[in-house]
Amino acid sequence: MDNIDAKTIRTITLETIIVALLFLISVALFVFLTHQVVKGVDPWFDSKAFDFFRRHTTPSRVTFLRNISFLGSPLFLLPAYLLIIVWLAVKKRKYDAIDVTIVAVTATLLGRFLKWLIGRSRPDSPLFEAIGTNSFPSGHALSSFIFCSVVIWLLWKSEWSIAAKWILSLLLLSLSFTIGISRIVLRYHYASDVVAGFCIGFTWVMLSLWVQKRIRKSIGNRQYPIGNRQ
């Protein structure tokens, strides 16, 4: 029993360390990119990314990525979030429904605020109709990453097999990354916009779920003090 407990503790500690490192890297990279953009210095990989995708883009790929890009738009994400929240409510998972709602709403507000605050213009010559909003960070990258992360979070709370959880998690992350790439190919965003969107998306979803967990634990402790819990 002691060996099992020790192994569990080591596993939890390792997971915590990995998540903490990814969190710090995401914050640091986002701060660095923001600093570069605010100073008016375009990160070196922005032009490299445009050149790379221009050489490897075909009309069929553009059509495919334009359709994929829709999955990161409010027209898709809003109904998708509503379906998830309603499903959680029907399943009487009140706290999960609240968590999803808070993460979705705050992430949207954060993305809009950062776009307004930083005020970076979009790239020239988009492949389709121009968009009037600012560019940094990519709202599609941020929103799609958070949505996929929320689905992954709910998935790992389910009773599905470990193999199914891993496969679906990797597919969801791949979808989010493809949405981000689509924004570069369609010339709606610089590569740094997309990277920043993923960084702030990861940071925000981790921070939001952690804070909500701590708040719920604090409320539970007040409702059921030690010695009086049933």
Asked whether residue 228 is domain-assigned, the answer is no
- Burial class for 42, CB neighbours closer than 10 Å (0-12, 13-18, 19+): middle
Domain that holds residue 167: 2-217
Asked whether residue 227 is domain-assigned, the answer is no
**CA-closest candidate to residue 191, choices 144, 138, 139:** 138
Asked whether residue 89 is domain-assigned, the answer is yes
Asked whether residue 167 is domain-assigned, the answer is yes
**CA-closest candidate to residue 84, choices 102, 96, 66:** 96
Predicted TM-score (pTM) above 0.85 = no
d(CA 97, CA 226): 27
Per-residue pLDDT 10s for the chain (230 aa) are 444 555 555 555 777 788 788 889 988 988 989 888 888 777 788 888 899 988 888 899 999 999 999 999 999 999 999 999 999 999 988 888 998 999 999 999 999 999 999 988 898 888 888 888 888 999 999 999 999 999 999 998 888 999 999 999 999 999 999 999 999 999 999 999 999 999 999 999 888 888 877 777 776 554 444 444 44
Asked whether residue 22 is domain-assigned, the answer is yes
Q: How many domains does the chain have?
A: 1
Which helix (H) or strand (E) covers residue 154, if one does?
Answer: helix 139-156
Asked whether residue 55 is domain-assigned, the answer is yes
Are 49 and 193 spatial neighbours (Cβ–Cβ below 8 Å)?
Answer: no
* Dihedral of alpha carbons 59, 64, 69, 75, sign: positive
DSSP at 92: T
Are 134 and 122 spatial neighbours (Cβ–Cβ below 8 Å)?
Answer: yes
